[in-house]
Structure 1
Amino acid sequence: MSASVLFDAPGPKARVRNLIYSVAGSIGLVALIAWVCYRLYDKGQFAGELWDIFNYAGIRQNIFDALLSTLKVFALAGVFSLAFAVVLCVARLSDHKPVRWVAVVFIDLFRSIPLLITIFALWVGILGDMTPMWALVLGLTIYNGCVQAEVLRAGVNAVPKGQVEAAYALGLRKTQVTASVLFPQAVRSMLPSIISQLVVTLKDTSLGYIILYPELLYSARLIANNTPVGGVYPTVQTVIVFGAIYIGLCLVLAWLAKFVEQRGRRSKAGIVPTAAEQPEEVAAPGDVAKPSDVSKD
C-alpha cells in the first residue's frame, strides 16, 4: 500500500492548492534573495577590490592569531567541560541525597542562565580580577559541563540494568562499576551528542568579543569596521571568509566524531578468538572418525 496511513491522500483541489502555495512561496523566496542582493550591490558590497584587504600580511596574521586564540579557548573549555561533566554526573547519580540535590540545583541553574551573562559576570569581577580568556574558558566550562553532564547521565541510564547487577554480583564496588561498566558504554552511546555539544562550545567562543577577547568574531568586527576600501566597508567579504573558517572547524569536529565512531565499531567487530579459545567441533551422531583422527598406539 503506497498511501500513508497517517493522513489522507490530497484530492485534486488540494493538489492544485499545494502547487499554488509552493510556486508562490518559491517566487517570494527568490524575490527576497534578489532584493537582498540588489541592496548589497547598490551599496557596493560586490566590488572586486574589497577582497584586496585579505592580501595584506597584517590582515592574514590577524586572522591567524584570532584562529589560534579561538582554538586555545575551545581546547581548554572542551577538556575542562568534559571533566567537569563527569564530576557533575557522578554527583547527580549519587546515592546521597544532599549531594544529588546540590548537583541538580547547580545544573538547572547554570543551564537556565544565558551563557553571555555568566561570561560577563565572571569578567567583571565575581571571582576577582580575571582575564578575558579565563573568564571565557570558565563560563564555557560551567555551561557546557552542565549540558554534557545531562548527556552522560542519559547514557548511563540507558545501560541495561542486568549488566550493573552482574557487576555487583562479581563483587565490584560502585566506583568500579561506574568506571568500568557504566561510563565506557555511556560515552560510546552518547558520542554523537557529546561531539554536537563540543561544536556548540566552539561556536560559543564567539561570545568572547563582548569581553574584548581577540577571537575570530572580534577580529572579524575589526576588519569589517576599520578597513574601508573606497569608502565601502568589506562586510560581505568578511562574513564569507570568517564564516568559512567556522564551517571548516565544525566539519573537522564532525569528521572526528565519525572517525571515532567507526573505529569503535571496528574494534568491537574485529575481535577474533584465538586458537585456544575456539570451541572444538562436536561430531554429529552417525559420523565416522577418519583414519587420520585416530591416534596410533
Structure 2
Amino acid sequence: MSAVLYDVPGPRARLRNRILNVVVIVAVVAVVIWLVLRLNDNGQFAARRWAQFEYKAIQKELLTGLLNTLRAAGAATVLALIFGAVFAAARISDHKWVRVPATLVVELFRAIPLLILMFFFYYGSLQYHLGLTPFHAVVFGLTLYNGSVLAEIFRAGISAVPKGQREAAYAMGLRKNQVVRLILLPQAVRAMLPAIVSQLVVLLKDTALGFIITYNELLYVAKQMGGRLEFGFPYIPTYMVVAVIYIGLCSLLSLLARYLEARTRRNRKIAPGTTVTAAPLDDGGAA
C-alpha cells in the first residue's frame, strides 16, 4: 500500500518510528531539564530577579511595549497587504511597462535586509530632517520588505490556479480584471492563506528589530527592565516573559488562520440536495 507522496510504513517501520519518537522526546526533555537546572544554579529563578513583575509600574511598561508592538505590526500589516496586492497585480499585467518595473521593485526590496531598510528611514530622516519617528521607520521598513514577499505570494497563488479556470472565464467574455477578481483570486486565497499568515507572524516578530533604532516596543522595554541593578540585572527572566508574550501572539494568529481556513472550506461546500442554476446574463438581450 502506498500514499500519494510516500509508501505507507509496515509494522517494523511503525515500530521503529515509535522508538525514534520516544528517543527524541526523551532527549528534548533531558535538554530542557538540564537547561532549567543550569539556570537555577546561576540564580536566574531567585525571587529577587522576578520581584519586579509584581509592581504595577513594571506591568504598565510591559503593556506599553506590547501596545507599541501591536501598533507597528497592525499598521505595517495593512500597508504590506495593500503593497503586495498592488504589485502582484502589476506583476501579472499584460503591459510590459507595468510588469517590468513592478518586478524590479519587488525583487529589490526582497533582497535588502529589513534592518537596513529601518536604518535607511531612521538615519536618513535624521540627516535630511524629514521628521520621521522610529515608529515610521519601523513601519516603512516592515511594509517594503514584507509587502514584497506578500506580492510574490499573491502572484504565485494566482498563477497556481489551473489554466482552465481563466480560459473558461475568458470564453465567457470576462475581462482580465474580472477574471482575476471573480475567478482566480477567490480560489487562490484559500491556497495562499497559510503562507500569508506565516508571513504576518514573521512581520510581528520583526517588530523586535525596532529596539535598535530606539523604538519603544516590547523588546526595547525588556532590555531596559533587564538592566536594573536593584533586581540583580534580570535579563533572562525578563526575556522569558517577553518570549511567552510573543508565543501567545503568534499562537493567536495561527488560531485565526485555522478559523479562516475552516470557514472558507465550509463556504465551499454545497448543501446536499441543493440545485445550482445559472442566472441569465443581462447584456442587452444577447446571451
Distance apart, 1:78 and its partner CA:
0.7
Q: Is residue 2:231 matched to residue 1:236?
A: no
**% identical aligned pairs:** 48
CA RMSD between the two structures: 3.0
Match of 1:138 among 137, 140, 150: 140
Distance apart, 1:225 and its partner CA:
0.9
Q: Deviations over 1:181-205 (max 9, x none)?
A: 1222111211000000000000001
Gaps of 5+ in 2: 8-15, 278-287
Q: Is residue 2:76 matched to residue 1:77?
A: yes
Q: Is residue 2:49 matched to residue 1:47?
A: no
**Superposition map of 1:235-254 within 5 A:** 235-254=235-254
Q: Deviations over 1:77-130 (max 9, x none)?
A: 111101110111011111111221111111111111110000111111268221
Distance apart, 1:149 and its partner CA:
0.8
- In 1, Cα distance between the equivalents of 2:154 and 2:171? 24
Q: 1:249 to 1:169 in 2, by over 3 A?
A: same
Amino acid at match of 1:258: R
Which contiguous aligned blocks of 4+ residues in structure 1 show a shift greater than 3 angstroms?
Answer: 29-34, 36-43, 270-277
- In 2, Cα distance between the equivalents of 1:68 and 1:130? 20
**Is the contact between residue 228 and residue 234 of structure 1 (CA under 8 Å) also seen in structure 2?**
no
The normalised TM-score by structure 2 is 0.81
The normalised TM-score by structure 1 is 0.79
Distance apart, 1:211 and its partner CA:
1.1
Q: Is residue 2:115 matched to residue 1:99?
A: no
Amino acid at match of 1:260: L
Structure 1 match to 2:260: 260
Gaps of 5+ in 1: 6-14, 278-297
Corresponding pairs, count: 261
Matched position secondary structure for 1:46: coil
Distance apart, 1:163 and its partner CA:
1.3
Q: Is residue 2:123 matched to residue 1:124?
A: yes
Amino acid at match of 2:202: V
Distance apart, 1:274 and its partner CA:
5.2
